[in-house]
Amino acid sequence: MHEWALAEAVITTAINAAKKEKIQKITEVSVQLGELQQINEEIFRYALDELTELYKEHFSKVIIDINIERTQLQCNNCEHTWMFDSMKDSIDEDEAEAIHFIPEVAFVHTRCPNCGSPDFRVIKGRGVSLSSIKGVKK
């Protein structure tokens, strides 16, 4: 039910943003979904569809756009930042498969490409956020 809670948060945020912008009917919602956020995109999308139906006084033929946010890491030692994607080539297929299901596993093998430090943090690719809404003003 994780997906429903996140979808509800996105929809509530969208409705509040619309009120602030004096948007009467929301026609488009863009959502950023971190690739490390372990949620089922299909269920998430279904939940968003159901919730826009439930709160239909705020929406009109809404298009929901889900963008996957790629993982970005930052070294705690030298502050270098890099995309996790760029490292996927250097790992073998079995590891890649494991990473697909448990992204955290990947980080065991990860080192900063600049200084080689294993001490880094995730700066992008986690969480779900509303990136923009479009709609019809009063």
CB of 84 to Zn ion, least distance (A): 14
Q: Which residues contact 6 (CB under 8 A, 6 or more apart)?
A: 37, 39, 44, 47, 128
Closest CA to 110 of 87, 79, 92: 87
Residue 76 in contact with Zn ion, rule: CB under 5 A: no
Residue 74 in contact with Zn ion, rule: CB under 5 A: no
Residue 38 in contact with Zn ion, rule: CB under 5 A: no
Residue 111 in contact with Zn ion, rule: CB under 5 A: no
Burial class (CB in 10 A: 0-12, 13-18, 19+), 48: buried
User: Where does this chain touch Zn ion (CB under 5 A) — which range of 58-66, 76-84, 100-108, 125-133?
Assistant: 76-84
Q: Residue with structure tokens 């949620």? A: 39
Looking at the Cβ atoms of 30 and 77, the one nearer to Zn ion is 77
Residues interacting with Zn ion, by CB under 5 A? Answer: 75, 77-78, 80, 112, 114-115, 117
